[in-house]
Amino acid sequence: MSESGQGRTVLHEDDIARALTRISHEILESNKGPDDLVVLGIPTRGVALATRIAALLERFAGTPVPNGALDVTMYRDDLHRHPTRAPHPTDIPAGGIDGKTVVLVDDVLFSGRSIRAALDALQDIGRPAAVRLAILVDRGHRELPIRPDFVGKNLPSAREERVNVRLAEVDGADEVTIA
């Protein structure tokens, strides 16, 4: 693992690609194929990851898998501490989520509060048959009883450390660092 200006690099571009490939295979295996799957990313980097996963699912299964974005900003319980957080658009695929298996995708799972907010947001949109969680990096330190179904990398970290995910679509490069 190399050192960068942002800290120690724990995942490089190839590592991220391998993790997303594995997650995609696990999603198809768990769902017994692509039927009734909807992949929703949590902005910002979760949307880019969801788009990549949906493309991989289509490649492996041979059929398109709807994907979109689920903004959780107004469902967060920490808006009083971060009032300048700008909402992102929610983009639910045309078929909706009712009766579907929704795979929520985010970059880092830490306290679990973003995922709790996502579950609340989903409830306002429809009633999925099931909700699964795919995370690129699980760093622990959960404050809520939330556990991912699909994990790219478990990264034990100190609470004061910062895990930074950079993705080409947002940041111009793919890497995960810890500082």
pTM of model > 0.85: yes
Q: Using one digit for the tens of pLDDT, what is the confidence trace for 3-62?
A: 445 689 999 999 999 999 999 999 999 999 999 999 999 999 999 999 999 999 999 999
For residue 148, what are its two tokens?
């991912």
C-alpha dihedral, 63 to 118 to 114 to 110, nearest 10°: -50
**Taking a C-beta distance cutoff of 8 angstroms, is the pair 20, 56 a contact?**
yes
Confidence of residue 88 (pLDDT cuts 50, 70, 90): confident
* CATH 3.40.50.2020 describes domain 13-74+92-159: yes
Residue-level pLDDT at 87: 79
Q: Using one digit for the tens of pLDDT, what is the confidence trace for 51-74?
A: 999 999 999 999 999 999 999 988
Q: In the chain, which ranges are E strands?
A: 3-4, 7-11, 37-41, 67-69, 101-109, 130-138, 150-154, 163-166, 175-178
Residue ranges per structural domain of the chain? 13-74+92-159
